[in-house]
Amino acid sequence: MNTEWLALRRLIMDVDDARILYRRLARHLEQPGASQLLCRLAQSHAVIAENLADRIHAASGGETARTGRRWRALRLGCIGLHAHFALDADLDRMLFVQRNEARVLRGFDDAIQDEHVQVRRRLQLYKRELEGKWGELGRLVYAMSGASHAHA
């Protein structure tokens, strides 16, 4: 593995993990707005990961693993168990998504610092796209937490 693409490969795995997690979590959400947002996030992640993997392949000739990490199943199980005991399972799952997406955005920062100028510009565009969805996610979580407190 070429070390100059290491941060970008890590980012692709994080983005792929998030994509798979969000698609699976969306099926368990009762609130349609939350489910739709997760589906849009997952779709953005799919496009981003595919494009970045293609860029690595074109620039270095190396393939990029697209299966994500082994920990994904364990994380999904922990999320489900935690949500089972939560007062508001949808809110609990969305708070996890919010934390996870913050981690993905930090991965973009790491990759932006390490990569070539051509790739850096593309990463910055993708990061801005996800930051827009991050803002939407924050507003939704805020509204859900307000509604959750009103019902308590």
pLDDT at residue number 70: 58
pLDDT tens profile 75-85: 556 566 555 55
Contacts of 34 (CB under 8 A, 6+ apart): 26, 90, 93, 94, 140, 144
pLDDT tens profile 90-125: 898 899 999 999 999 999 998 888 767 668 888 999
Q: Which domains does the chain have, with CATH numbers?
A: 3-151 (1.20.1260.10)
Would you say 41 and 140 are in contact if contact means Cβ atoms under 8 Å apart? no
Cα 73 from Cα 64, distance rounded (Å): 21
pTM of the full structure: 0.82
The residue assigned the tokens 């959750």 is 148
> Which of 19-23, 50-54, 115-119 is predicted with the least confidence, judged by mean pLDDT?
115-119
